[in-house]
Amino acid sequence: MDNIFNFKLKLCSRDDLDDLYKFIKKMQGRGLSFFSPSASKNFLKERYRSYSNPTLTFNAIIIKKNKDEIVGYGGSILFEGMLNSKKIKGAIGCDLMIDPDYRKEFPMLFSCLFSGYKKFFKDRDFFLTFPNDNQIEQTFKKIKWRSLATVYNLFCPFSLAAKLDFSSDKIKIKKNDFSKKMMSHFFKRVSSQYYFLMQADADFLEWKYFYKPDNNYTIYTAVLDKKILGYIIAEKRRSSIYLVDIVIDLKFFRVFFLLLSDIFTRSTGQKYKEVRCSVSHKLYLENLKKIGFSCYQKENCLYSDLGKKSFFSLPKNKPYHFNGLIEDGY
């Protein structure tokens, strides 16, 4: 635990969870929150759960004043992917929030959160963040976080998406038929097609989406001769369908439309109003726009290698694919 001007910086433990939940509710009362008022304490447990140490800590850093009151926090969502055909471990710094009563007087608190990422997540190769606040973005840039890519948040009315009609006699679309062995072969085969895949580890993929007590995810895979050609993981929330993780073998990009068509056909008649997803890869963006998706928000992705120089000069003109970005707020 670090002590900076009577502020304590620490990794959130199970004992801190009640106080963190109260802090978030307090910020919601002031109109400052990333989550809807219905977000539960269990939602926080699932969002910040630890892959390596699931029983003791959560992937969130909290700032306490005088050992007691939480005045800020920053969450972290882990990922294990591929960069230039090499396996990497990373994390997304997310949900950065400082109590406005302290934000103006102590602007260094955002820098404290950065120090916390560096201190508590030493096993990660680098960090990404998607600032939704200009002040936060400028603060991170001042401490040498760099721009990497733009992420486009898209939506499409379900009534329009449901008109998509693709089929194939040879390629089969399977629902919740998850084979870690086949998925591992798939990631190994397609990793050279993408400079960066955010999620590209079958064990981690299974843990992230399906080892949850309230799992609401469905995986759809396109299979030809026992070989995966692509997959989409979808989550259905209230009247929306979220396409939360998409990876397609670019040599068989037509399966993207086969998968979408199958998902929408299975969902017809269930009163869904819209479909949402987040993409950065131009091929996905261009083809989603062709079938009726439109962009309602852009986000700038920043990165830092936290001092590990081998990652400090990532090129900006490569096909980064941020598969696994989940839109929040439930």
For residues 115 and 6, state if they share a domain: yes
Which among 143, 177, 207 is the end of a domain?
A: 143
Residue 4's pLDDT band, with cuts at 50, 70 and 90, is low
Residues 18 and 133 reside in one and the same domain: yes
Q: Are 162 and 133 in contact (CB under 8 A)?
A: no
Neighbour-count burial for 283-317, b at 16+ CB within 10 Å, e otherwise: ebbebbeeebbeeeeebebbbbbbeeeebeebeee
Same domain assignment for residues 81 and 186: no
Residues 205 and 75 in one domain: no
- Decide if pLDDT at 223 tops 80: yes
Tell me, yes or no, whether 90 lies in a domain: yes
pTM: 0.87
Q: Tell me how far apart the alpha carbons of residues 89 and 164 are, in angstroms, rounded to a whole number.
A: 36
Q: Are residues 129 and 165 in the same domain?
A: no
User: Higher pLDDT residue, 38 or 100?
Assistant: 100
Residues 109 and 215 in one domain: no
In a domain, 291, yes or no: yes
Let me know if residue 328 belongs to a domain: no
Can you give the residue range of the structural domain that contains 236? 153-299+309-321
For 163, which DSSP code? T
The pLDDT score that the predictor gives to residue 330 is 34
The tens digit of pLDDT for each residue in 103-146 reads 888 888 888 887 888 888 888 888 898 887 787 788 788 878 88
Instruction: Judge if 135 and 158 occupy the same domain.
Output: no
Are residues 295 and 158 part of one domain?
Answer: yes
Mean pLDDT computed over 279-305: 93
Residue 293 lies in a domain: yes
**CATH code of residue 170:** 3.40.630.30
pLDDT band at 167 (very low <50, low <70, confident <90, very high): confident
The pLDDT score that the predictor gives to residue 307 is 62
Per mean pLDDT, which range of 16-30, 40-54, 258-272 is the poorest?
40-54
Q: What is the largest CA-CA distance in the chain?
A: 67
Question: Which pLDDT score, from 0 to 100, does residue 1 have?
Answer: 46
Residue 117 forms part of a structural domain:
yes
Identify the pLDDT of residue 3.
54
Per-residue confidence band for 151, with pLDDT thresholds at 50, 70 and 90: very high
